[in-house]
C-alpha cells in the first residue's frame, strides 16, 4: 500500500515526503542487485522521478552532497522494473550463472540479457538527464 500524501502539503513538502520514503527503501535494501521489482517502490516510479527533479530544481541551497545523492537516487530508480520482467531477469540470470544450457530456465537467458541492456540504457539516459539538469 502506498502512503497517502495530504493535499494540504505544499509541493516541496510532497516531494520531500516522496523522496524520503524512497530513500528509506534504498537504505533498507539488503542486497546489491542489477534490478529490483517495481512493487517495492513506496510510490509510482514517475512520482518519485518528479519529486527528485522538483527538489533539485526548486531548492537552490541544497548542499552538494545532497544534490549528488538525489542525482544518484534518480539514476538508481531505473533499476526498478516491472515485476514480471524482474522474474524473467532472475530466472535468466540463474540459468546463465549455472553455465548449463540444459538449465530449466535457460529459455529466459536471452530475455534476461535484453532486460539488462534496457536497464543499462535507461540508467545512462537518467545520468544524461542529471548532467543536463545540473548545467541549468
Share of the chain above pLDDT 90, in %: 69
Prediction pTM value: 0.86
Closest CA relative to residue 47, chosen from 67, 26, 17, 25? 17
Classify residue 4: in a domain, yes or no: no
What's the mean pLDDT when you consider all of the chain? Answer: 89
In the chain, how many domains are there? 1
Q: Write out the residue range of the structural domain in which residue 121 sits.
A: 11-134
In a domain, 6, yes or no: no
Using DSSP, state whether 36 is helix, strand or coil: strand
In a domain? residue 1: no
Predicted confidence (pLDDT) per residue in 1-48, tens digit: 444 555 554 688 899 999 999 999 999 998 888 999 999 999 999 999
Residue 2 lies in a domain: no
Measured distance CA(88)–CA(120) in Å, rounded: 16
In a domain, 89, yes or no: yes
Q: How confident is the model over 91-121, as pLDDT tens digits?
A: 999 999 999 999 999 999 999 999 999 999 9
Amino acid at each position: 500500500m502506498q502512503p497517502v500524501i495530504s493535499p494540504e502539503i505544499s509541493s516541496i513538502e510532497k516531494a520531500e515526503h516522496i523522496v524520503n520514503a524512497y530513500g528509506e527503501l534504498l537504505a533498507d535494501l539488503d542486497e546489491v542487485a542489477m534490478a529490483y521489482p517495481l512493487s517495492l517502490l513506496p510510490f509510482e516510479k514517475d512520482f518519485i522521478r518528479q519529486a527528485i527533479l522538483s527538489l533539485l530544481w526548486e531548492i537552490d541551497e541544497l548542499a552538494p552532497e545532497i544534490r549528488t545523492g538525489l542525482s544518484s537516487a534518480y539514476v538508481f530508480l531505473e533499476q526498478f522494473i516491472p515485476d514480471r520482467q524482474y522474474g524473467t531477469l532472475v530466472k535468466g540470470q540463474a540459468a546463465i550463472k549455472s553455465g548449463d544450457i540444459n538449465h530449466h530456465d535457460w529459455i529466459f537467458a536471452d530475455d534476461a540479457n535484453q532486460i539488462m541492456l534496457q536497464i543499462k540504457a535507461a540508467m545512462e539516459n537518467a545520468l544524461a538527464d542529471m548532467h543536463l539538469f545540473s548545467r541549468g
